[in-house]
Amino acid sequence: MSQDFKPWGGRFSEATDQFVESFTASVTFDQRLYHHDIRGSIAHANMLAKVGVLKPDERTRIVSGLQSIHKEIDDGKFTWRVDLEDVHMNIEARLIDLTGEVGKKLHTGRSRNDQVATDLRLYLRDAIDDLQGRTGQLLNVILDQAQQHPETIMPGFTHLQTAQPITFGHHLLAWFEMLLRDSERLEDCRRRVNVLPLGSAALAGTTFPINRQLVAEELGFDAVAENSLDAVSDRDFAIEFCAVASLMMNHMSRWSEELVLWNSQQFAFIELPDRFCTGSSIMPQKKNPDVPELVRGKTGRVFGHLMALLTLMKAQPLAYNKDNQEDKEPLFDSIDTLRDVLTAMTGLIDAMKPNIDAMRKAANDGFATATDLADYLVRKDMPFRDAHEAVGRTVAYAIDEQKSLDELTLEELRKFSTEAVDDSVFDVLTLEGSVRSRNHFGGTSPEQVRAAIARARKRIKV
């Protein structure tokens, strides 16, 4: 193939400006679509032969040419040429190199516009399946940790202030719920990704007697796109994926923030494994939680990609515009980032060791059972607002006395509330009594946590 070959060169009388060539090229980043591009081309050639547009032996030569190109790329022996602009034209040019005239017939009834939309959907569908597998692993690892800790007590927080005692298992299950919804969103997004654009050609369809259903079946698409203009131009499926990815990153970022806090000397709730941390070049005592910090940090780029794609699309008239070439890098980077983040979180959650004593002590020091005392007074017939007030004064007193609530005497407790307080109050003032009593669907009691874990195992679909 001569250096100045351009599949679209016919109408041009001067060579492309060197700068314009590289400015308009996408091959440096879209070459990762090669597998899906070749799959799509093989399905297209098979269909063209079935409807009689290609002769059987032409189909055979095209398909085997495409297969050897796939192997060349796999083996790193393929030369990508920027002057050939993108992955599609690089592969087509090589096909013509290998098969001669017959290779020029592959593009019959097709355009790069429906080709690239097809490639991208195939690529994203595989990426979603891979991400779902990783999400499933993380979901299971959360349950494995939770299973160890249905009774482990820690403080639950609101406003990052100790609020009420909870079980560590219950806390972990909160992250499980968020991630399970993310997984459902991925599944839902996949349904709209898995629609075939091929056959739309440049924008208006083709004059050849194509059979799009056949192509859809070969490529595993659930449906054929109904409208050719829409199919070649909209990238809402990529935007939707980035929105789902952003929500997932949002969850992973919040969770990472918690891991960073909990791993600090001040909290010391968990110990992260050495192999997931790094040291400081100047402070020898440091063991930094770089992995969760980076998960938190990488969230910004995925949010940014969502905004980039929304902005990319917002002013495009129908149908295809070259703007859409800019869809790839944000999409690819979102996929790559999310994949690594799921791997990182799975490793972290699997290996983190909770410091049970520190968690318990923090719950105990924070008057976490104050609400339990108020509820107790209500059961002794005190209106809740009065009980709230009485417990507030009790806590203030305990702070002065440097005692925890369960260290107060019956007399001290009665002084701030009612004579009706009896020995049974100490059952509710203990951390164990407190969590045990929140024993309803969705509550933090060990019994509920065990039941929730059993249900959760069955709710994982991926």
Q: Which residues bind ligand ARG (CB under 6 A)?
A: 26, 30, 86, 112-113, 116, 320, 322, 324-325
Measured CA distances, 444 to 159, 258, 367 (Å): 19, 19, 18
Tell me how many degrees the CA angle 197-227-313 measures, rounded to the nearest 5.
75
Measured CA distances, 456 to 142, 354, 356, 439, 459 (Å): 10, 22, 24, 18, 5
For ligand ARG, the closer of residues 138 and 331 by Cβ is: 331
* Nearest alpha carbon to residue 233 among 153, 346, 120, 122: 120
For ligand ARG, the closer of residues 84 and 421 by Cβ is: 84
Minimum distance of ligand ARG from residue 17's CB (angstroms): 16
Residues, the chain: 462
Catalytic choice (159, 171, 281, 417): 159
For ligand ARG, the closer of residues 84 and 249 by Cβ is: 84
Minimum distance of ligand ARG from residue 78's CB (angstroms): 17
For ligand ARG, the closer of residues 119 and 240 by Cβ is: 119
8 Å CB contact between 95 and 70: no
For ligand ARG, the closer of residues 325 and 369 by Cβ is: 325
Minimum distance of ligand ARG from residue 26's CB (angstroms): 4
159 assigned to active site = yes
Minimum distance of ligand ARG from residue 41's CB (angstroms): 14
Minimum distance of ligand ARG from residue 435's CB (angstroms): 55
Contacts of 136 (CB under 8 A, 6+ apart): 183, 460, 462
DSSP category for residue 167: E
Catalytic choice (64, 68, 280, 424): 280
Beta partners for 164? 156
What are 29-34's contacts with CB under 8 Å, separation 24+? Answer: 29/328, 29/329, 29/332, 30/86, 30/87, 30/116, 30/325, 30/328, 31/73, 31/80, 31/87, 31/90, 32/123, 32/332, 33/87, 33/116, 33/119, 33/120, 33/123, 33/328, 34/70, 34/73, 34/87, 34/91
For ligand ARG, the closer of residues 121 and 436 by Cβ is: 121
Minimum distance of ligand ARG from residue 104's CB (angstroms): 18
Active site residues: 159, 280
